Amino acid sequence: MTRGEQIRLTFLLALPSIFAQLSSCLMSYIDAAMVGALGSAQAAAVGLVSTTTWIFGSFCYANSSGFSVQMAHKCGSKDFAAARAVFRLGIRSVFLFSLALAALGLAISQALPRWLGGEELLWKDASAYFAIYAAFLPVLQVENFCVMSLVASGNTKISGLASIAMCLLDVVFNYIFIYMLGLGVAGAAIGTGLAILCAGVFLLYYILCRSRELGMRERNGARDSGSQDGIEDAGSREGCTGGCVGGDCCPEAGEGSTAEQRFSRPSVELVLSNALKITAPLWLQNLVSRGAYIIATVLIAPLGTIAVAANSFAIIAEGFCYLPGYGMQDAATSLVGQSLGAKKPELARGFARISIFSGAAMMGALALIMWITAPAIMGMLSSDPEVIGLGARCLRIEAWAEILYGVSIVAYGCCVGAGDTLVPSLINLICMWAVRIGLSLLLIPHFGLEGYWIAMATELCLKGLIFAARIRSGRWMRLRFNTEVQQRGSDGPRC
């Protein structure tokens, strides 16, 4: 594959994901603007618990990654039967985990705002928002798992369309529940949850009934022969989705696959073991690194309602710059995973370089726009002049870190695609606690909220440099999964 073809394929996968990120960013803007219109106190109530919602949402992402990386490797090696088996085991596993996560969230929802040091006038709205968010966690988990599964198979178009539809539905549901029914902050949580529910149902239907790589049906519409989980067929495809890297184009059903692959089905223990290798470091990272966000909230909360609201809105506004970074991250995860599954490490390295450079360059361009338009962006989210002024100053501080932050975002996706999650997780948590939190403790007493954002920008720059060094070293591609194929008729449970 030539360099030009690699660039074309990278953007072919990244663009739908970027549009999906755009819709997600717009959804955050819409939520923030609708809640912000209710007043600074309501906006601060949502901002108070937002870091905790990130932790719970990140657990859902980590759970999905453990299985989606394996699906990408199986699709890269054209073992679509095994990819389908991993999907079916994965969705059952992550759904059960999300039920436990939802129960935990509901259990702590009443006490959480008090634990975070928020003012008493924020407690009621903050508790209601977080409780509703927690109740929708199983829905969020299924939607996230389906999105990552489609990306792993090389299909970012459908997930992107679903995200755009979810954004539109969010506007409709928020208007109904916030304004027409007068539910305020709770209405925002309900509206967003219902929008995610609609997207999740559609994506699950598409994968099971329409996906060529992961679905239950063959080209002729029949179910996979052999068993419910598809033992015998190596995958039927009506045409290339654009995400194939294992060969010149996607094969028709069974072509290009060995007899061993067509009759392969990984054992439950094998899939879960590989998933745990990927997921466990991500759990640790989310628990420790996202825990640092909670500590940051505790440090910011005493600065007052204006600072909490400005911080919350500035974080949402900054998401504008992340669009190409996370879009390229999705493409890199899929392309690197499929390339390594096809035993083409140099191709994986090429995709990594293209994705990282492109993501960082585009984030840098958007950072320049954000620096120039920071007051206008904040003005769309809040009508309070103090919130707008403080938030704009924070955005201009952060703009200087966006290029290297883009490097770390996309490089992290490359590592996940290779199954390398332990070292990147350690990089994230050490930078978060030693640099961001350490500097925040020193700077916040002297510079207020702006001191926290200076600490954050410093940490993001350092993290980008470390990730660039790791990608350059090539050590991120050395992880090997247990990939023994179990034949039909051998002992042991299967997916």
Q: Which amino acid is at 448?
A: G
Q: Give the burial class of 490: count Cβ atoms within 10 A of its Cβ; 0-12 exposed, 13-18 middle, 19 or more buried.
A: exposed
- 10-residue mean pLDDT profile of the chain (495 residues): values are 82 76 71 77 82 83 86 86 90 94 94 85 90 94 92 83 87 90 90 94 94 69 38 37 47 40 64 85 76 82 88 86 87 87 88 95 95 93 90 96 96 89 88 93 94 96 96 82 44 51
> How much is the pLDDT for 108?
94
CA distance 400 to 457: 7
Measured CA to CA, the distance from residue 145 to residue 90 in angstroms comes to 8
CA–CA separation, 287 vs 101, rounded Å?
A: 13
Q: What is the rounded distance in angstroms from the CA atom of residue 231 to the CA atom of residue 266?
A: 9
Give the model's pLDDT for residue 272.
Answer: 87
Say if CB 299 and CB 440 are below 8 A apart.
yes
- Judge if pTM exceeds 0.85: no
Are residues 26 and 192 in contact, defined by beta-carbon separation less than 8 angstroms? no
Please give the torsion angle defined by the CA atoms of residues 311, 313, 318 and 322, in that order, rounded to the nearest 10 degrees. 110
CA distances in angstroms from 353 to 47, 338, 340, 468, listed in the order given: 36, 16, 15, 10
CB neighbourhood size of 402 (10 A):
28
For the beta carbon of residue 489, count every other beta carbon within 10 angstroms: 6
- Identity (one letter) of the amino acid at 240? C
Summary count for the chain: helices (H), strands (E): 17, 0
With 0-12 / 13-18 / 19 or more C-beta atoms within 10 angstroms meaning exposed / middle / buried, residue 216 is: middle
Q: Which of 419, 481, 429, 327 lies closest to 66 in space, CA to CA?
A: 419
Q: What Cα–Cα distance (Å) separates residue 355 from each residue in 71, 152, 305, 465?
A: 20, 16, 40, 16
pLDDT at 481: 53
CA distances from 228 to 85, 158, 258, 398 (A): 9, 25, 21, 51
Q: Is 100 exposed, middle or buried (0-12, 13-18, 19+ CB in 10 A)?
A: exposed
**Contact at 8 Å (CB) between 224 and 231?**
yes
DSSP H/E element including 149: helix 137-152
Tokens of 450: 């702006």
The residue with tokens 């901002």 is 47
Sequence-separated (6 or more) residues with CB below 8 Å from residue 58: 282, 286, 290
CA distance 353 to 331: 12
At 244 the pLDDT is: 53
Cα separation, 129 vs 34, in Å, equals 14
Distance, CA of 352 to CA of 331 (rounded, Å): 9
Token representation of residue 461: 């720059």
Report how far residue 259's alpha carbon sits from residue 169's, in angstroms, rounded to the nearest whole number.
46
**Rounded Cα gap, residues 456 and 241, in angstroms:** 39
